[in-house]
Amino acid sequence: MAWKPRGLLFWLLVTAAIYLLCWSLVFVLYLGKRSAVSVHLEAMGFGSGAAVTVGGGSAGSAHWTLTGALVRGFTVTGIDARAIVRLPVLPRECKRVARGLGGLCRSRTVVTISPLTASLSRFESLDAAGSRARRVVVTLPSGQAANGSVEELAVNTEGSHGPTACLSSTQAGTLTIGGGLHLPLGGLLVSPPCEDGLRLRVRSGRPGKGAGLVFPVSKSFTLTAIARTAEIAGATKGMLTVTNPRELRPLSDGGTVDLRGTGTLTVGVRAGFAGRPTSVTVAPAHVTSARLDDEELVPTNFDRHRSIVVTAFFGGLGLLWVLVQFAKFFQQQVGGER
């Protein structure tokens, strides 16, 4: 049976189907996606329940650091917490501290369980860090005490082996642990890597679940977190800046900002003191998503190039129509000659 050429309508439908398929692929692979834009955030005026949450994903790439914070105490807590705190206390105090806490002394390390609370007779310097976390939640202070110190700030690390901290003391003072154990601080300087002081290991379960550091009273406190995603909730003042296209969006009414970076985001938390407000900043970075109260501010590539895409699509349809008319004319000419 000899093959017969298809009719004009058939080829018209085939050509239109191929054309639409090509545009569908372009939309899926490019137009429906969001190209990275640069953002910058400054937020302040946080109310009750305000928090900063950064995520490192399943790889556990989130980490945070706290350097030179002036604190009057801290609490290690968590259902499955593990944390290591180096104290400005001579290692020979290990057995006495272990007895006072009902723990064990092992090689200059006191092993005890959480929650564990420590208070200081004066402001002392504390360094802390957490790494390889799936998520880090920083609960921000909702107000200020009469002396200008923040009420409370908590750092909870999930999916890591827990935070490490180092307490330094350059002057005489008293460290109270567990409410009843009083340790004199004779000015023993303990600085990173904190090799000279007594080590306190706090644990209460399996590693990798969650551990927290709570700071009820602080003076100078700046925490830096680095992760691929960041959520800032509870800000009543501030500005979110998005570029390309440039857009300035004020923060109000305790809204939520959700950012997803192409690389890492650097989030800075500065706890207020002496009448200063708590502030959160996100350093300029490239993101593929920036949501303010569930409103997406990063346009898709289709929205960004809408006029060009619409012109190209209908221009392509017009070109196809011209080609179809030319094929029809050519077919009529050939048929007439026969």
312 occurs within a structural domain: no
Residue 334 has what pLDDT?
Answer: 64
Rounded distance between C-alpha atoms, residue 54 and residue 57, angstroms: 9
DSSP single-letter state for residue 89: S
Other C-beta atoms closer than 10 Å to the C-beta of 321 total 11
Confidence of residue 193 (pLDDT cuts 50, 70, 90): very low
256 occurs within a structural domain: yes
Q: Is the pLDDT of residue 190 over 50?
A: no
In sequence order, the 6+-apart residues with CB closer than 8 A to the CB of 239 are 41, 42, 248, 249, 250, 251
Residue 210 has what pLDDT?
Answer: 61
Mean per-residue pLDDT, 37-54:
87
236 occurs within a structural domain: yes
Instruction: With beta carbons less than 8 A apart as the criterion, state whether 237 and 252 touch.
Output: yes
25 occurs within a structural domain: no
Residue 267 has what pLDDT?
Answer: 93
Q: Which domain holds residue 144?
A: 37-296
Confidence of residue 295 (pLDDT cuts 50, 70, 90): confident
33, 41, 53, 99: which is closest to 288 by C-alpha?
33
Tokens of 141: 């202070």
Other C-beta atoms closer than 10 Å to the C-beta of 137 total 19
281 occurs within a structural domain: yes
Residue 208 has what pLDDT?
Answer: 47
Residue that wins the pLDDT comparison between 329 and 224: 224
79 occurs within a structural domain: yes
Helices then strands, each counted (H, E), the chain: 4, 18
Rounded distance between C-alpha atoms, residue 82 and residue 202, angstroms: 6
305 occurs within a structural domain: no
* H or E element that contains 141: none
Residue 60 has what pLDDT?
Answer: 79
Residue 336 has what pLDDT?
Answer: 57
- Cα-trace Rg, the chain: 31
**Domains contained in the chain, number:** 1
12 occurs within a structural domain: no
Mean per-residue pLDDT, 191-211:
66
254, 258, 333: which is closest to 44 by C-alpha?
254
Q: Is the pLDDT of residue 192 over 70?
A: no
Q: What is the pLDDT of residues 276-286, one digit of tens each?
A: 678 899 999 88
Rounded distance between C-alpha atoms, residue 255 and residue 69, angstroms: 28
Mean per-residue pLDDT, 68-90:
80
What is the pTM (predicted TM-score) of this model?
0.77
